[in-house]
């Protein structure tokens, strides 16, 4: 049981944890006789969302096996850390990078990207995902070749992929992974629609973190589609999981001087 109870030496009896709980009065209850909050989870159903930990003003929740919690100046006023204008520019300028330098990304930098991905929200806080960082060029090439061959099998795609490979070969570029030095793969054993949304959110966290570290990325749908058609491809990189998504990552070999144009989407409910 990850949440073990309450540190009553710290607890000020504010009851904030009661309202913070995903299912109030189920895991965390008020003992009226003792006039204190108690934590009970005999069936171990707590989803470990950490809301009680995050909202407790006195850090009085006792827990284990959930990773580390931390705080920082400005956590109660996040708008003071970064303005909307600055964040908008950062988001609008995010691009899919398909040209990379040969230089490898240091492991400590890749770890920062992965760390950011840990904090992505997932439905019911399932956290069922596994992360793989593939840096071996031979393994990346083998995976790329298998994905290419799988797409060529599809009659409607064959001509496109053969033509693409011929064009990319002229500049010694990989038509699948664009000569990226690294590939990050996220998988899950839960084969359900919501898990795809979870992984999408996780990868978005990783791509934005990478951008903040001076790296370029590109979501690679080719990997997902090919593995859906031929699950055996996962064995090439020793990947396990029913749902698989990937993105390339490395130092970009291209500069962007302006934001790409985007037409507004249709939005109802606003004037």
Query: pLDDT at position 72, please?
Result: 95
DSSP letter at 79?
G
Nearest C-alpha neighbor of 100 from the set 193, 23, 176, 205: 176
Q: Which fold has domain 87-250?
A: NADH Oxidase (3.40.109)
Tokens describing residue 229: 């058609």
For the entire predicted model, the pTM comes to: 0.92
Residue 125's CB is within 10 A of a number of other CB atoms, namely 15
Run of H or E residues at 210: helix 193-212
Between helices 155-169 and 137-152, what is the axis angle to 10°?
A: 140
Distances (CA, A) of 79 to 89, 114, 155, 262: 15, 24, 51, 26
Between helices 84-92 and 193-212, what is the axis angle to 10°?
A: 100
| Cβ proximity of 22 and 51 under 8 Å | yes
CATH of domain 3-63: 3.30.70.20
Query: pLDDT at position 151, please?
Result: 97
- Print pLDDT tens along the chain (271 aa): 588 889 999 999 999 998 898 877 678 888 888 888 888 887 778 888 999 999 999 999 999 988 889 999 999 999 999 999 999 999 999 999 999 999 999 999 999 999 999 999 998 888 889 999 999 999 999 999 999 999 999 999 999 999 999 999 999 999 999 999 999 999 999 888 889 999 999 999 999 999 999 999 999 999 999 999 999 999 999 999 999 999 999 999 999 999 999 999 999 999 8
87: left (phi over 0), alpha (psi -120 to 50) or beta: alpha
Query: pLDDT at position 45, please?
Result: 83
Please give the radius of gyration of the chain, using alpha carbons only, rounded to the nearest integer.
Answer: 23
**Domain locations in the chain as residue ranges:** 3-63, 87-250
């Amino acid at each position: 049981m990850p949440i073990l109870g309450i540190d009553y030496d710290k607890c000020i009896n504010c009851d904030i944890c009661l309202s913070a709980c995903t299912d109030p009065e189920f895991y965390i209850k008020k003992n009226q006789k003792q006039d204190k909050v108690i934590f009970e989870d005999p069936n171990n159903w707590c989803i470990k969302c950490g809301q009680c930990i995050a909202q407790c003003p006195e850090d009085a929740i006792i827990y284990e096996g959930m990773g580390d919690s931390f705080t920082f100046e400005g956590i109660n006023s996040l708008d003071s850390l970064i303005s909307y204008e600055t964040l908008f520019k950062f988001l609008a300028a995010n691009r899919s990078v398909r040209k990379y330098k040969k230089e490898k990304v240091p492991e400590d930098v890749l770890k920062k990207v992965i760390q950011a991905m840990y904090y992505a929200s997932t439905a019911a806080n399932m956290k069922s995902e596994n992360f793989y960082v593939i840096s071996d060029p031979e393994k990346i090439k083998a995976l790329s070749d298998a994905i290419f061959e799988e797409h060529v099998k599809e009659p409607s795609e064959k001509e496109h992929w053969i033509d693409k490979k011929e064009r990319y070969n002229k500049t010694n570029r990989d038509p699948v992974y664009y000569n990226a030095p690294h590939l990050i793969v996220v998988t899950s054993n839960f084969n359900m629609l919501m898990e795809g949304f979870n992984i999408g959110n996780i990868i978005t966290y990783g791509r934005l973190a990478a951008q903040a570290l001076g790296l370029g990325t590109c979501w690679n749908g080719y990997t997902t589609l090919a593995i859906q058609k031929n699950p055996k491809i996962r064995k090439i990189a020793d990947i396990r999981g029913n749902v698989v998504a990937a993105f390339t990552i490395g130092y970009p070999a291209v500069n962007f001087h302006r934001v790409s144009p985007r037409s507004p989407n249709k939005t109802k409910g606003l004037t």
